[in-house]
Amino acid sequence: NAGVTQTPKFQVLKTGQSMTLQCAQDMNHNSMYWYRQDPGMGLRLIYYSASEGTTDKGEVPNGYNVSRLNKREFSLRLESAAPSQTSVYFCASSVKEGGQPQHFGDGTRLSIL
Amino acid sequence: GESVGLHLPTLSVQEGDNSIINCAYSNSASDYFIWYKQESGKGPQFIIDIRSNMDKRQGQRVTVLLNKTVKHLSLQIAATQPGDSAVYFCAETVGDYKLSFGAGTTVTVRA
C-alpha cells in the first residue's frame, strides 16, 4: 500500500521553464491537496480538489495550475517557473469530500535558478 | 490576519520523559485542530485531532488539550522515545478544509 506517491522527488529548473508535478493516491480518497513548505514556515495550501472533477484555489495559487485527472491523480503545473517558487511541494489526500488532509506524500524538492 | 503559532521553535527532552508542545491560535472562531508530525525528509503525518466542543482527547501515548478561553492548544507525548524526534505542527480550521499551519516546533530526544 503506497499511500500518496509524488514524482519527481527532486528537480532543478531554470527561470521561465515549465514543469508538472505528479501525485497519485491508491486509497480511493475523495479529496486531494497541494501544499508548499518554505524554510521555517508551516505548509500553505496552493490548490485543492474536494472531489473528482472539482478544483479550487487555496491560499497561494498564483503561478500554478492543477488538474484532477481522475480520482487517483492530481497534478500541479508551473507554467513559467520563478525563483520564488523554490520550495518543497507536498501532495495530500483525505477520504472525506472536503475533509482535512490525512495522508501526505514525501514531497518534491524544487529549485528554480 | 489570523495566525497559528507555536510558543517555542525547539524543544529538547530526555528519553523517557514526557514532552509538552504548545500552540497558540488567534482565531476564536476556529473549531477544529490537528497535530502533525514531520520527520526529516518526509511528509507530515497526522497524529491526533480535536474539535472545539472538547477539552481533551487521548491517543496512543499522546494527549491533546484545548483551552478555548486563552486560545491555547498543547500536545503531550508520554515516555518520549528517540522516534519522536521530529518537527510538530499544529493546524486549525474554521469549518472547512483550509487548514492554517503554525511554523512548527523541532523536538530533539536526548538519549
Residues B68 and B111: their CA atoms lie apart, in Å, by 35
pLDDT in tens, A48-100: 998 888 999 999 999 999 999 899 999 999 999 999 999 999 999 998 777 78
pLDDT for B3: 46
Our CA-based measurement puts residue A42 at a distance from the nearest CA of chain B, in whole angstroms, of 4
pLDDT for A99: 78
Nearest to B62 by CA among B53, B50, B72: B50
Intervals of chain B under pLDDT 70:
1-8, 95-97
pLDDT for A41: 78
Beta strand pairing call for A10-13 and A108-112: parallel
Indicate whether A18 pLDDT > 90: yes
pLDDT for B51: 93
Q: Which residues of A touch B43 (CB under 8 A)?
A: 4, 90, 92, 104-107
User: Is residue A30 left, alpha or beta, with left meaning phi > 0 and alpha meaning psi from -120 to 50?
Assistant: alpha
Pseudo-torsion of CA A44, A23, A70, A93, nearest 10°? -50
pLDDT for A100: 84
pLDDT for A33: 95
pLDDT for B19: 95
Contacts of B91 (CB under 8 A, 6+ apart): A42, A43, A100, B4, B33, B34, B35, B36, B99, B100, B101, B102
pLDDT averaged over chain A? 93
H/E stretch holding A33 reads: strand A31-37
Beta strand pairing call for B86-93 and B72-77: unpaired
pLDDT for B97: 64
What is the distance in angstroms between the CA of the first residue and the CA of the last residue of chain A? 36
B window 33-92, beta carbon within 8 A of A: 34, 41-46, 49, 89, 91
All three cell numbers of A67, joined, read: 488538474
Residues B64 and B59: their CA atoms lie apart, in Å, by 8
- Locate cell 524526534: which residue? B85
pLDDT for B110: 94
Nearest to B80 by CA among B42, B107, B54: B107
Contacts of B50 (CB under 8 A, 6+ apart): B32, B33, B56, B57, B64, B66, B73
Our CA-based measurement puts residue B106 at a distance from the nearest CA of chain A, in whole angstroms, of 10
Are B44 and A98 in contact (CB < 8 Å)? no
pLDDT for B1: 31
